[in-house]
Structures are given as C-alpha cells and as structure tokens.
C-alpha cells in the first residue's frame, strides 16, 4: 500500500491548520484549526502503523490516535469553556482583544 | 625608705577621683564641688612634697620603677601600667600640684557665679590628672595617653565659653594644631618601639630600657634620628615652638586660671618634659640636638618680639611663654638638661603668678587690655607687688628664680659654644638679646598697668583673699625656687643632683669626670675635637653648684637696666597713644635737640624692633603661618568636596550604578517580545520548529 | 556549664532568636505592646545565656575551640554542622547579643514608619541568628549560609522602614554584598577541591595550609578578598555603605555598623589568612594601601558631609581602614589591633548611630546647617553624650577607640611573615598617612561638634520643646557608654581574651 495518499492528505490538513492557527482572529476557528492539526497527525500515525507493522496485534498507532482524539476532545472542551468566558466578559471572541499577558 | 615612693601613684589618682566625684555630686555641695578638688589637690600636694623630699635627699639612686602588666598587645608584647619615680618626676609633681592647687583655690573666687562652675572644677582636676599621668608614666605609651588627655582638657577649657564662635575656634585650633604634632609623636614612639622590639624587648615602650639601650649604642642611628625628630614635632606643637606656636595666643580665650595652669605652667611644658625624659636618646644624635637648638633659638627670640605689639595683657604673657619655652628647648639642644628643666621649674611658678595676677587685674577692670588699666598700684597693692615680683623673675633680675635658671641656660650655651658647636653661640647671644626684649615688653606692661592714671571705667579694688593668697605663695616661690641651684645652695643637695639619674649624670656633664678624664656618651663623646677640648680641662664648671659668672651678671644687669629705662621712656608717664603729641614731642625733642643717639636708637633700633620686626613677626605668624594652616584647611576641604563629588559619586559610584542601569536597559528592549498575542507566539513556535527541522536535516 | 561538653548552650543561644522570630510571627499584630515586650524577653534571655557562656568560658585555654558541636549535616557534600568558639569569636559573639538586646529595648519606644513591630522585630531576630552564626560557624558551608542569611532581613529592614531613598539603598546593599559573596563561594569551592580532603572544616583546612599552587592561592584569595572587602567595606568598595546607613532605620544602622561590618574583618582573620597564607602575604601590601587610602579618603569625605548620619557612615570607612591596616600588618599585634578595632568600632559607632537616630526624632532633620548648633544649651545631656562618643571615636586614649588605632599603626611598622623586608618603606609611609588620618578624624568630629553642639540654638528651635535624653534611651545606651570607657581603661578585656587565639592563628600562618 502506498503512503502517498494519506501523507498528502495529512500534509494538506496540517497546513490548513497552521494557516488557521496563525491567520484567523476568531478564537473558535483557531480552536478548530488546532483540531485539524491533531487530526492530520492521527492520519499519519494510522498510516505508518499499517505500513511498518501490518501484522502487529497491538495496533499501537491506532491506540495513540484514540488517545489523541480523547485528549483533543478534552482540550476542545476546555478551550470552548475559556472562549465562552471570554465572550461573557469581553463580548468578543477575537483573539486580538486578549493581550492581558502583554508586558 | 621608699615607702612614700610606693604610693606615688596616688598623686595622679586623687585628682582623677576628684574629677569623678565633682561630676557626680559636685552640684549638691555648698562649694559646688570646688572643695572636693581642693582637698584632693592638697592631698596630692602633700604627697608630692614628701616624694620630693625623699628624692631630694636620696643622693643619686637608681630610679624607682613599679609596673603592672596591664594588657598584652599581641606577639608577646605587653602594655605596662607603671610608674617611674625619680627626681624629674618628683620635680614635675611638685610643680604641677603646687600650681594646680593655687589655681583651684584662686578659681573659687574668680569663677564665682559662672553657670558651669562645677564643670570647670571637674575639668581642672581632670587636667591635673592627665598631666600627672604623663609625668609618672614609665613607658611612652602611657605617657602618650596622658599627653592626649592633656590636649583634650585643653580643648575643653579653652572653649569653656563656647557660646562665642571665636572661643570655639580657639579650642579647635589648639586641639588640631597639637594633634598635628601628635602625628609626629605617635609615629616617633612607634619608630622607637620598633627599634626596641628589634632588640628583643617585650616592653618596647619602656622609658628606662629605651634610654639605656640608646646610651649603650644598641639603637641604630636611623631609628634615633627619625624617631626623635618625629617626637620633637609633637613637642614643637605642644610646647608652642615656632612655627606651631600659633594656637597658644589664641588659647587665651579660656578663663584666666586655665591660662595660668595649662598654657603657662604645666601643659605647654609637656614637650620639654618629654625631651628631658628622653634626653639620653636625644643626646645620641648631633642632628637632633642641632634641630632642637635651632628651633628653640628661633622661638625664644621671635616669640618674644611678638609680645611687644600686644595690648591684651594675656597675649603679652602668652607670647612671653612661647619665648621662655624657646629657652627651655634651646637648652636641651645644647646639652643643658639641668638648665632646661630648672628653667621649666622656676618658670612654672612665676608664669602662673603673672597669669593669676593678670586675672586679678582683669577681674577688677573687666578688660584684658593694658590700655584700659593704669594706676592700679594704688588700688590693688597686693596684686601690684606680686606682679612685680613675677615680672622681675621673668626678666631675669638678679637673685630672683628666673635669674638663676635663665643664666643656667645661657651658660649651657656658652659651654656648648666652647665645644666648637655654633648652636651654643646662638643660644648664648640670641638668649641675651631675647632677655632684653622680655624685659622691655614686661616693663611696658607694668608701666601701663600700674603707673599713671586709672583709665578704666570701673573703680578697681583689690581682689578677695582667695585670689590674693595664691599670688603671695607663688610670689615667694618665684624667688625661693631659684635657690635650689645657685651659688648659695648646698654642694650635695641641689636641683641638679635632685633631677639627675645615673644615665643622665653620665650624659649631661660629659666634659670631665672626677678623675679629670674625659667621660660621657653620645654626641659629645663622638667627636675627637670634643674629647681634646675636654682634656684641656677648660670645662666642667656646669657640673655641681654654679659659681658667680660676674661677666654674665654684668651683661644681664646692663640689659635689664637698658630695657627698663627704654620702656620707662615710652610708657612711664601713662599710655602714649592717649596723648600722641606729647609722646611724639618728647621723643622728637630728646632725639633732635639733645643727643643724636636717641633718634638713632629710636629710628634704627626701636622702630624696627618694636614696629617693623615685631609687626613682621606678627604678620608672619598671623598671615603666613596661620595662612598656611588655614590654606591647608581650605585645601583639604576643597579636596574633600572634589573627592566626594567627582571621584566618589561620579566615577566609583557611577560604575556601580552603570552596571545596574545597563541591565535595566537590556531588559527594557527584550521585554517587547512578550506581546501577549497568542498567534504571534504560535507563529514563532511554528517558525522555530521549521528552523529546527531544517537544521537537523542539514546536519544529517 | 563545662565549656568542653556544653555545645548545646551555644546551639540554643544561636537558634533561640530564630525560634523567637517564629513565635512573634504567630502573635496577632494587634498585640503591639506585647510583641515588643516579647522581643525584649527573647533577646534578653539569649543575652543572659551568652553571659553565662562567657562566664563559664575557659579563659586559660582561649586559644582552643570550646562549646563545640560537630555532627554530620549534608552528607552528600561532606558539609558538617560544626560550631565552636574561641577567644577571637567570643567578643564579637557577645557584642552581637548585647547590641541586639539593646536594639530590642530601644524599639519598645522608637519605631519608624510604617510601624508594624511584629515584622520588624521578627526580622531583627532572624538577623541576630545570622550574625551570631557567622562568628561561631567552623564549616565553610555553614558559614556561608549564615553569611547569606544576614542579607535578607537587613534588605527588608532598609527597604521597608528606611528613609526616602530606601528602595535604592536596600537594593544596592543587597546586590553589592551578594556580588561579593558569589566570588567568595567560588573561592570556597576552589579551596575544597584544591585541598582534596573532602572537608569544609575551617580548622582542618587551616592546619593543612598552605596547599595548592601559587596561582591557586592568588586567585582563591582574590575571590575571598572581594567577598570580605565589600562587607568591611574597604575603599573603593564602600559606596553601598553610606547609602545603606543613611536610609536604614536607627536599629538597622546600629546593627549594620555594630556587627555586620565586623563579619568582613572576622572573615579575613578567620578564613582568608589561615587557609590561604601565601595569598595573604601576596595581598598584604595591597590591603595596607587600600586601608590607608580608606582612612584618608573616608575622613576627607566626612569633612564634606552635611548630613550627620551620612557623616558617621563615612567615618566607618576611615575606622575600618585602621582595622584593615592591622590585618595588613600580618603579625600578632596587627591581628589583635584589627579585632580590637572591630569591637571598639562596633560599640562606638553603634552608639553614634543611636545618637543620630535620636537626633532625627527630635529635630526631624539630620542636616547640620538646619540644626544650627546650641544642642549643649537646648538638650545638654544629649550634647554631652554626643561629645563623649565623638571624642571616643576620634581615638582619644582612655576610651575604646584609641587601642585599635594605635596598635594597628604600631603593628604596621614591623609587618610580619617577611613582608617587612620587602615593603618596610611602604609600611612606614602607611603608618605616617594613617597618623595623618587621625588628625583629619579629629578635624571632622570637632567641626561637627562645633556646628551642632556649641553656640546658641538658632531661633527656629529656641521655642521648640525638645526632649533631652529619655529614660528608654538611658536604659539602652548606658551599657554601651560604660563599655566605651571600660574597653579604654581595660584593653585587656579584649586583648587578653584574644591573645592565645591570635597566637594559634599566627601559628597556621607560619608567623
């Protein structure tokens, strides 16, 4: 099985994620971008598992992917909670408005 | 029977206890503390008389020394608390306690009504203690302690009326000038002690050991010359030698009894005393002796000249003290150990008398100026005759104490000159000239004070008994003390034998010993000329009781008469300035019409001496030397300001601050990266990752 | 107490203040008066214990360590908890407890803004443990910890209760001293590894000395020199001192002058000299020159001051110059002089800072020109005390200041360990300049007295009711006043105690 397809897909997704992370100003979209980057990593993990250890029973690549999905879900939950709070206090979900940590 | 000598430590201790007692509960006593001081001093005086008698009749014993190991100083060296009692100590005891007792009694009346009466008596006692401590010390370190305490008391008493700025300044000037001399003293003591440490002594400050080592030639010449010249610097400052005498006239800002006690009879003699104590060391070096003699000669002459132009009676006496101290110093410099301390002894009495007499006059007319006095002989008979006795003694009138002691100095100079040493000639001839000056200014003062009309705005009356009695006692002593060493005194018991020690004996009269052989050590024995001269047998007269030097007597009498006559000429009829026309008229008439001599004398001798020379001397004293002192002070202050402002605050502190500021500057730049923008951080993260990946790839 | 076995006494005395600080911290802040009394009680008990220790100290064997404790502590780096006390430690240790006690007594009535006695006194007690520990620690690591422990409380004392420029002064003090101690720490490490004996014990290292190459000795001494010289402070490392002193509260100044500066000279004598004798000999002339520059320079700066407290601070630079001149002499008399000068300066200058503090409380200014004179008329007892202490400070014989100064000059004329052969002329010059320094010292003190004490009080103060010396001031000052006199008359009180210990020390130095 060729790796080219999955890898191209993963790369595309990752680049879209990075672009969204840096360029979008809406906090929800930034969060979604992060999720996309995580998904692209998952694709890589599953693809390489199948290529390198096809006979392995433990399927560790898939296990990793599951863990990452779980963590991503948690992260999304926390992120959304923060964004909700932000919206309540600032009436905005624009990340440019939040620079409390500035010197 | 050394029983009394064992208790010699009581002599200084009693005044110390008295100081504490007066300070503690003097105020609540009826005499406000003065009685404690008088009782303590009287006890010290009685003990001193006993000790003096003991040493006077003892022949020529080894000095009596007792000491305690008071403290280790490290390295096995020990600071001793010890006493050295010999004739010199006993003589100083007698002088200090007598004068101090008289001053204490006198002050009860003189200082009556002063707000700080009790404090005054406490300080008088403390001063007496300090001086006695200096005298009794068996080592230089203990002597230094006494010496510095004397300086402190002097400072406190000169500035007694500290409400006025000028008095404060006088106190500071005295303390700092003498403290400057103390630099020499301290370093000198250290240098000598280093020499003694080199000899393996564990008590390197001990005076007897030091003297013995010097006489035995164990100390190197360098140590002796350096050490003694430095110590002499201390003596120059303390004993009012030129050019460091500047503080002494200013010190007259203190109350008059203080002037009598401190600035005439005792404290200023500390320097002379120390030179006498260290005479065996001094005598090892011709250089040191020469320097001492020259300084003494300059002081005795120029110091005296200054007194000519003074109107303030106390300043006249102050300058005369400078001059007389010059005689004592010069005598040390020409080998006249006995002459020097004999003059110290008699001078103490008659100068105290003169100062106390001056105090009595000032008390009566409420002014220090002789131009405000006049005609006091009638209203103050006792003060008058005692003051005249003191004046005669100071002028060296035959058969007074001053005559015997001053002539002793002159003869010491003459003998030294006989050794071919030019400083001897200087002492002899300049000493004679200064005697003329002394007589002249004292006669001037006496005429202006006692003769003529009363010019004061008060009706003067004789002082009370407590002030007059000390005057009388001192007047008697001003005559009697001279007979301790005169042609009338005993061959066996006299002042010279009293104050000599075996070491001194060897050094002071080195010309010939009993067997006619040349003997002695130090500078005199070192030159071949000296030994040859001694073999001629032309000297040796100074040892023992003096005989009448009729040639000198004649000169002294002529000088005395000339000076008194000259003074009488100008001042005998009252204050000349009061009627200048008459004064000038008489002078002009005498000079122009009668003899040319008078005018010549007036114009070319009196005017230059009284006006030009004296003014020059005053000017040099007040402007040049004082100016240097003041300039040094100003320059120091400027240097201090500059050092502080420029070097300390800018350069050194600037460097310290610079380090801190540069850290702050950088942090200010670097903090800007912390923008608080999440996406910038993310971008930086991504960029960083890419760079890292590329870097790893490149490396592989 | 048996000085051979009663090591516990020293430990208790040392940590009692620290425990006391904890006890104060749990008292509610509202119990203002009780807190102050508790502090007096704690320092009082500690002082009493130290008096008992002093009384049972075996003066016949003052050269040996007594009241020792020696247990393993940080085994990983071979550091031990080693305490002890000999004739060199005892006077400084005693002075520390006395001064802290007097400061606590003084604080019952006087405390600068912003008050808060609980924090202030707790810091002071911490400081006490740090200071006292430095003088009895015989393990380099332990020494260093006590040394650094001192910085923190003093930083807060200056920074919170100080004058207008307190922030600047406290930071400067902290950083400057820390800067020095870093080099000191590096030098300690170098010594540890160079000795190769896996011990930090000062005694053991002293006995092993000299070790290492000449280069090692020089560099290690330089490091230690920086640490201690800043603390002393020697010229030109002194600039933190006037700022710290001027801004510090009265009690802080007293402890700073009375004890903290002594840690520097003590360190030189206890650590730098015996462990690095060759380096010390090499550095001695430099130390001497810097010391004498400090004497002259400090006095000149004093002449230029207009602030009483700053003047006293600069006078410390001059006085510590005499102490360091004694160290530079490298002989027994010199070390004796340095240690005596330490004690005398602590007592006298501590007292001067008490006086300066009280001056400020009365006049609300320390500017000499504003005070304008007449204190002897206005507040005579205070004026007399100022005169007395100033005269003691300018080195009058019969009072404490004299012995340190004179003996230092005396010792410096014949420096030990062969330095004299090479630098005899230099040292003679040093003595002469030091002696000139005494004149300058007399000059600025007399000038100060003239300007604040003498004359008539200016009009602005004439009608102002100013208190003369108050009862609490008498209580806290009398011991110091008596000590100034006692040390002057009985120098054996310090010289005698130190004698054997100093002789031991010079034994390590080969002198």
Question: Which of B408, B484, B510 minimizes the C-alpha distance to B91?
Answer: B484
The mean predicted confidence, pLDDT, of chain B is: 78
Length of chain C: 511
Q: How far apart are CA A76 and CA A74, in angstroms?
A: 5
Report whether pLDDT(B520) > 70.
Answer: no
Chain C residues touching residue B164 (CB < 8 angstroms): 455
If you count residue pairs, one on B and one on C, with CB atoms under 8 Å apart, how many are there?
A: 144
How close A101 comes to chain B (CA, Å)?
5
Closest by Cβ to A102, choosing from B675, B679, B683: B675
Q: Cβ neighbours of residue B144 under 8 Å, at least 6 residues apart?
A: B185, B186, B189, C397, C406
Enter the ipTM: 0.88
Q: Is residue C2 part of a domain?
A: no
Residue C330 Cα, gap to closest chain B Cα (Å): 11
Residue C1: inside a domain, yes or no?
Answer: no
CB contact under 8 A, B679 and A30: yes
Residue A32 contacts B where some CB pair is shorter than 8 Å: no
User: Is the predicted pLDDT of residue B512 greater than 50, yes or no?
Assistant: no
Question: What is the structure's pLDDT at B574?
Answer: 66
Among B192-201, B536-545, C226-235, C314-323, the least confident range:
B536-545
Where are chain A's structural domains? 4-97
CB atoms C300 and B653 under 8 Å: no
pLDDT digits (tens, 9 = 90+) for B86-110: 888 888 999 999 999 988 888 888 8
pLDDT of residue B341 exceeding 80, the answer is yes
pLDDT, mean of residues B371-391: 82
Residue C19, pLDDT above cutoff 80: yes
C-alpha C187/C-alpha C467 separation (Å) is 52
Whether the CB-CB separation of B36 and B22 falls below 8 Å is answered with yes
Q: Are B359 and B110 in contact (CB under 8 A)?
A: yes
Q: Is a pLDDT exceeding 60 seen at residue B519? A: no
Residues facing residue B81 across a β-bridge: B68
Which of B169, B641, B656 lies nearest to residue C304, judging by beta carbons?
Answer: B641
Residue of C nearest to B77 (CA): C333
User: Tell me, what DSSP letter sits at residue B85?
Assistant: E
Contact in structure between C351 and C95 (CB atoms under 8 Å): no
Give the CA radius of gyration of chain C. Answer: 22
pLDDT of residue B632: 66
Other beta carbons less than 10 A from residue B469's beta carbon: 15
What's the gap in Å between the CA of A81 and the closest CA on chain B? 17
Is the CB of C334 less than 8 angstroms away from the CB of B149?
no
Q: Which two tokens stand for residue B561?
A: 């008469």
**Residues C339-357, buried b or exposed e (16+ Cβ, 10 A)?**
bbbbbbbbbbbbbbbbbbb
Domain ranges (residues) in chain B: 1-182+251-268, 294-323+336-574
In a domain, C281, yes or no: yes
Using CA atoms, how far apart are residues C445 and C308, in angstroms rounded to an integer?
10
Asked if C408 and C329 touch (Cβ cutoff 8 Å), the reply is yes
pLDDT at B599: 44
Residue of C nearest to B173 (CA): C443
Whole-number Cα distances in Å, B402 to B90, B331, B429, B483, B553: 20, 14, 17, 10, 13
Question: At B232, is the pLDDT very low, low, confident or very high (cuts 50, 70, 90)?
Answer: very high
Q: Tell me the pLDDT of chain C averaged across its residues.
A: 88
A-interface mutation test, from B667, B670, B680, B682, most A Cβ less than 10 A away: B682
Whose CA is closest to C244, among C235, C236, C253, C254? Answer: C253
Q: Is a pLDDT exceeding 80 seen at residue B573? A: no
How large is the average pLDDT for residues B487-507?
Answer: 71
**Residue of B373, B551, B358 whose CA lies nearest to B455:** B373
Q: Do B72 and C410 touch (CB under 8 A)?
A: no
**pLDDT reported for residue B601:** 36
Q: At C107, is the secondary structure helix, strand, or coil?
A: helix
pLDDT confidence of C15, banded at 50, 70, 90?
very high
C42: containing domain:
7-509
Question: Which of C335, C406, C436 shows the shortest C-beta gap to B183?
Answer: C436
Position B270 pLDDT exceeds 50: yes
Chains B vs A: touching, with 3+ CB pairs under 8 Å? yes
Residues sharing a CB contact under 8 Å with residue B265, sequence separation 6 or more, in sequence order? B95, B96, B99, B347, B348, B349, B351, B352, B355
Cβ separation C300–B191 shorter than 8 A = no
* Closest to C104 (Cα-Cα) out of C24, C207, C5, C15: C24
**Residue contact B676–A102, C-beta within 8 A:** yes
10 Å Cβ neighbour count for B540?
A: 16
Q: Quote the strand ranges of C29-160, DSSP E.
A: 66-74, 79-85
Query: Is it the case that residue C51 has pLDDT exceeding 90?
Result: yes
Tokens 């004439």 -> residue? C462
Q: Domain tally for chain C?
A: 1
Q: In this complex, how many residue pairs, one in chain A and one in chain B, have their CB atoms less than 8 Å apart? A: 32
Write down which chains contact chain B via at least 3 CB pairs under 8 A. A, C
**pLDDT recorded at residue B539:** 38
User: What is the DSSP secondary-structure string of A52-68?
Assistant: H-TT-SS-HHHHHHHHH
Q: Are A22 and B682 inside 8 Å of each other by CB?
A: yes
Segment among B21-30, B143-152, B581-590, C231-240 with least mean pLDDT: B581-590
Residue C110 per-residue DSSP state:
-
Element of type H or E holding B99: helix B87-110
With contacts defined as CB-CB under 8 Å, which chain C residues touch B162? 376, 453-455
What is the band of C197 on the pLDDT scale with cuts at 50, 70, 90?
confident
Question: What does the block give as tokens for C154?
Answer: 């003093």
Tell me which fold the domain A4-97 belongs to.
Answer: Helix Hairpins (1.10.287)
* HSE-CB for C91 with a 13 A CA cutoff: 29
A98 touches chain B (CB under 8 A): yes
Interval A68-99: pLDDT, tens: 999 999 999 999 998 898 888 888 888 877 77
Query: Using one digit for the tens of pLDDT, what is the confidence trace for B607-656?
Result: 444 445 444 544 544 456 555 655 666 777 788 788 888 888 888 888 88
* pLDDT at position B529 over 80: no
Q: Has residue C322 got a pLDDT over 90? A: yes
Write out the two tokens for C339: 């240690």
The residue of B677, B681, B693 whose CB has the most chain A CBs within 10 angstroms, and thus the best one to mutate to test that interface, is B677
């Amino acid at each position: 099985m060729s790796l080219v397809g999955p890898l191209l897909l993963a790369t595309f997704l990752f680049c879209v994620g990075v672009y969204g992370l840096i360029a979008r100003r809406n906090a929800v979209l930034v969060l979604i971008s992060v999720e996309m980057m995580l998904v692209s990593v998952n694709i890589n993990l599953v693809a390489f598992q199948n290529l390198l250890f096809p006979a392995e029973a433990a399927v560790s690549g898939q296990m990793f992917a599951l863990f990452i999905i779980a963590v991503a879900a948690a992260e999304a939950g926390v992120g959304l909670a923060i964004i909700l709070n932000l919206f309540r206090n600032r009436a905005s979900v624009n990340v440019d408005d939040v620079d409390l940590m500035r010197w | 029977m050394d029983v009394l000598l064992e208790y010699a430590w009581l002599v200084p201790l009693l005044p110390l206890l008295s100081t504490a007692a007066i300070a503690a509960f003097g105020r609540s006593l009826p005499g406000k503390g003065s009685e404690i001081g008088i009782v303590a001093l009287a006890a010290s005086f009685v003990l001193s008389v006993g000790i003096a008698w003991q040493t006077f009749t003892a022949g020529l014993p080894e000095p009596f020394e007792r000491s305690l190991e008071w403290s280790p100083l490290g390295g096995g060296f020990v600071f001793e608390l010890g006493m050295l009692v010999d004739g010199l100590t006993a003589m100083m005891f007698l002088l200090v306690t007598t004068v101090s007792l008289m001053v204490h009694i006198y002050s009860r009346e003189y200082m009556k009504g002063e707000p700080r009466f009790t404090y005054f008596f406490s300080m008088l006692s403390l001063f007496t203690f300090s001086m006695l401590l200096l005298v009794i010390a068996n080592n230089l370190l203990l002597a230094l302690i006494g010496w510095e305490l004397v300086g402190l008391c002097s400072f406190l008493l000169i500035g007694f009326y500290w409400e006025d700025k000028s008095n404060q300044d006088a106190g500071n000037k005295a303390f700092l000038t003498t403290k400057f001399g103390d630099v020499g003293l301290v370093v000198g003591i250290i240098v000598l002690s280093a020499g003694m440490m080199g000899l393996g002594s564990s008590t390197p400050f001990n005076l007897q050991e030091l003297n013995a080592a010097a006489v035995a030639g164990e100390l190197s010449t360098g140590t002796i010359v350096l050490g003694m010249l430095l110590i002499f610097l201390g003596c120059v400052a303390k004993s009012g030698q030129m050019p460091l005498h500047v503080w002494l006239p200013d010190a007259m800002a203190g109350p008059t009894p203080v002037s009598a006690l401190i600035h005439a009879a005792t404290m200023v003699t500390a320097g002379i005393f120390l030179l006498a104590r260290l005479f065996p060391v001094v005598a090892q070096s011709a250089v040191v002796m020469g320097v001492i003699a020259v300084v003494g000669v300059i002081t005795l002459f120029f110091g005296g000249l200054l007194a000519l132009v003074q109107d303030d009676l106390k300043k006249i006496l102050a300058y005369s003290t400078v001059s007389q101290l010059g005689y004592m110093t010069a005598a040390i410099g020409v080998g006249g150990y006995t002459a020097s301390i004999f003059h110290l002894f008699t001078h103490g009495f008659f100068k105290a008398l003169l100062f106390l007499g001056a105090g009595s006059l000032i008390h009566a007319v409420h002014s220090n100026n002789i131009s405000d006095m006049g005609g006091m002989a009638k209203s103050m008979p006792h003060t008058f005759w005692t003051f005249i006795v003191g004046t005669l003694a100071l002028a060296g009138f035959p058969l007074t104490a001053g005559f015997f002691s001053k002539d002793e100095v002159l003869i010491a100079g003459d003998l030294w000159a006989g050794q071919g040493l030019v400083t001897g000639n200087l002492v002899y001839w300049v000493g004679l000239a200064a005697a003329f000056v002394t007589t002249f200014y004292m006669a001037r003062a006496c005429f202006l004070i006692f003769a003529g009309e009363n010019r004061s705005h008060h009706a003067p009356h004789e002082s009370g008994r407590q002030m007059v009695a000390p005057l009388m006692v001192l007047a008697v002593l001003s005559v009697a003390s001279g007979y301790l060493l005169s042609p009338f005194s005993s061959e066996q018991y006299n002042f010279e034998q009293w104050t000599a020690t075996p070491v001194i004996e060897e050094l002071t009269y080195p010309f010939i010993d009993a067997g006619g052989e040349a003997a002695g050590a130090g500078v005199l024995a070192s030159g071949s000329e000296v030994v040859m001269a001694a073999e001629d047998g032309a000297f040796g007269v100074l040892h023992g009781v003096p005989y009448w030097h009729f040639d000198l007597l004649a000169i002294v009498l002529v000088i005395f008469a000339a000076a008194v006559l000259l003074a009488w000429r100008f001042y005998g009829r009252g204050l000349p300035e009061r009627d200048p026309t008459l004064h000038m008229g008489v002078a002009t008439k005498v000079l122009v019409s009668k003899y040319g001599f008078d005018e010549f004398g007036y114009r070319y001798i009196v005017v230059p001496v009284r006006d030009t020379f004296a003014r020059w001397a005053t000017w040099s004293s007040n402007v040049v030397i004082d100016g240097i002192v003041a300039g040094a002070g100003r320059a120091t202050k400027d240097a201090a300001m500059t050092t502080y402002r420029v070097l300390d605050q800018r350069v050194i502190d600037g460097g310290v601050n610079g380090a801190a500021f540069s850290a702050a500057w950088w942090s200010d730049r670097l903090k800007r990266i912390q923008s608080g923008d999440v996406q910038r951080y993310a971008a930086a993260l991504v960029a960083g990752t890419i760079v890292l990946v590329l870097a790893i790839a490149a490396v592989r | 107490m048996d000085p051979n076995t009663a090591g516990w006494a020293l430990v208790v005395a040392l940590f009692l203040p620290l425990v006391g600080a904890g006890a104060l911290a749990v008292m509610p802040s509202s119990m203002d008066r009780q807190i102050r009394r508790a502090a007096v009680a704690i320092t009082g008990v500690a002082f009493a214990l130290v008096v008992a220790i002093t009384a049972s100290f075996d003066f016949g064997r003052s050269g040996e360590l007594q009241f020792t404790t020696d247990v393993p502590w940080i085994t990983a780096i071979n550091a031990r908890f080693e305490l002890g006390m000999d004739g060199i430690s005892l006077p400084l240790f005693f002075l520390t407890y006395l001064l802290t006690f007097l400061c606590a007594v003084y604080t019952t009535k006087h405390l600068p803004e912003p008050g808060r006695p609980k924090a202030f006194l707790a810091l002071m007690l911490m400081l006490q443990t740090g200071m006292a520990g430095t003088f009895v620690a015989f393990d380099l690591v332990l020494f260093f910890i006590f040394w650094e422990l001192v910085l923190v409380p003093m930083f807060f004392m200056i920074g919170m209760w100080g004058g207008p420029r307190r922030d600047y002064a406290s930071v400067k003090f902290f950083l400057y001293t820390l800067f020095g101690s870093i080099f000191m720490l590096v030098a300690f490490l170098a010594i540890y590894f160079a000795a190769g004996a896996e011990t930090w014990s000062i005694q053991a290292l002293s006995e092993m000395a000299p070790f290492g190459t000449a280069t090692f000795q020089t560099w290690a001494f330089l490091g230690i020199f920086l640490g201690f010289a800043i603390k002393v402070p020697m010229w030109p490392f002194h600039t933190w001192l006037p700022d710290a002193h001027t801004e510090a509260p009265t009690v802080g100044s007293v402890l700073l002058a009375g004890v903290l500066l002594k840690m520097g000279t003590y360190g030189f004598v206890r650590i730098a000299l015996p462990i690095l004798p060759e380096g010390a000999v090499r550095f001695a002339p430099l130390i001497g020159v810097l010391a004498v520059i400090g004497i002259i320079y400090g006095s000149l700066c004093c002449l230029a001051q207009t602030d009483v407290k700053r003047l006293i601070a600069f006078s410390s630079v001059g006085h510590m110059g005499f102490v360091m001149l004694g160290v530079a002499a490298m002989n027994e008399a010199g070390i004796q002089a340095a240690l005596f000068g330490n004690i005398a300066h602590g007592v006298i200058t501590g007292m001067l800072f008490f006086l300066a503090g009280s001056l400020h409380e009365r006049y609300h200014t320390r500017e000499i020109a504003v005070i304008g004179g007449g204190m002897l008329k206005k507040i005579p007892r205070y004026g007399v005390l100022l005169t007395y202490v100033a005269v003691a400070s300018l080195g009058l014989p019969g009072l404490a200041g004299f012995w340190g100064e004179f003996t230092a000059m005396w010792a410096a004329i014949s420096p030990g360990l062969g330095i004299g052969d090479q630098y005899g002329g230099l040292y003679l010059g040093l003595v002469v300049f030091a002696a000139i320094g005494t004149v300058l010292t007399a000059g600025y003190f007399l000038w100060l007295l003239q300007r604040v004490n003498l004359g008539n009080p200016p009009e602005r103060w004439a009608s102002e009711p100013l208190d003369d010396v108050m009862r609490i001031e008498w209580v806290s000052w009398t011991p110091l006043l008596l000590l100034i006199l006692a040390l002057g008359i009985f120098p054996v009180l310090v010289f005698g105690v130190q004698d054997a210990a100093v002789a031991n020390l010079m034994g390590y130095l080969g002198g």
